[in-house]
Amino acid sequence: MPPSDKISRRAFAGLAAGAVLLPSTSHSAPRPMPRTLLKPPRLRAGDLIGLVAPGGRINDEAIAYAVARIEALGFRARLAKNLRAVHGGYAGAVQQRVDDLHAMFSDREVKALWCVRGGSGCISLLAHIDYALIRAHPKVLLGYSDISALQLAILKQSRLVTFHGPVALSGASDYAVEHMLAVLMHPQDSYTIPMALENSRRALLEPHFALRTVTAGQATGPLIGGNLSLVSALMGTPYAADFRKAILFLEEVNEAPYRIARWLTQLDLALGLRNAAAVMIGICDHCGPEDEEPSLSLDETLDQHLKPLVIPAVSGYSFGHIRHQFTLPLGVMARLDTARQTVTLLEPAVS
């Protein structure tokens, strides 16, 4: 089994003050984003994959696991220069992590950046990233959880399609690998992703794994979203997700329903959830009430926010902090069909 990535972001909150900031000149306002959506080149067997850790710290065991996984998939691995760096709970100081991202995007041999894990700390990098450099060297960026901050910022400022999918430490799953490689290696004009049967089987004992339709219907729009706490945290910044007329996808882990409610309320106050084309909630593992305090359930919390919207809304879809997850390309047009319980990509995610 891989080292666990299921660590609450709250465990890292006390470390936030330890982030090393760059000079104030690097905090200049981002340039207006390009209008044209940019797709990275498709991956091919034998390509070189750059391993990066833009968030939480990792160790040699994690690195060895990630390298072995890349090689088992038929690729080659290159380690970022500061991959083993440590700064509190982070994988190095802000400058080290930014340098690794810039170096991997600039390296002509590297064809993709795969994040070893999420954790915490990616949001600290956003004001220091060279988004023009990233747009000049488009590549696959793959990960989830705290990586959502990077993905949303890069989509907003570079207009580059990024990929909400397994981190390199994610446990191997045939379902996850199949849909990840299909999206990254085999561009198709239309690609329909069914939900994982393994998650439906697990729902027999763990109800939050069940597929649930809050409001039925079909919706079409670009895929926008990621980890709920990060999507919420970016509101009011130059990196915020504009989910209006989009299929907003959200997932969370290890958070109580009242915090889920707070973040959903923040999104609603910021842009209006009703202005999305649809809302798709993944499997929110370990997000039930804490201890014995009075609380709404996770489903009751979601229903309270989603039912009044009168747009297609679902929960329990196969993405999030789970083993059997599919890969979602941010910015790509897609269709959600609640009757078929599918997500269909309506254009290739790679060039």
Catalytic residues: 145, 251, 321
- Nearest CA to 228 out of 272, 262, 274, 277 is that of 262
Helices H, strands E: what count in the chain?
9, 14
Determine the 3-state secondary structure of 329 from DSSP. Answer: strand
Q: In whole angstroms, give the CA distance from residue 214 to residue 206.
A: 18
Backbone φ and ψ of 225, nearest 5°: 150, -150
Query: What distance in Å separates the CA atoms of residue 287 and residue 69, rounded to the nearest whole number?
Result: 29
Contact predicate 36/15, CB 8 Å? no
Q: Are 185 and 304 a contacting pair, CB within 8 Å? A: no
Among 17, 9, 169, smallest CA distance to 88 is for: 17
* Strand order through the sheet with 110-115: 76-79, 48-52, 110-115, 140-143, 163-164, 328-329
Q: Are 118 and 167 in contact (CB under 8 A)?
A: yes
Under a CB-based contact definition with an 8 Å cutoff, are residues 90 and 121 in contact?
yes
Whole-angstrom Cα distance, residue 124 to residue 21?
Answer: 8
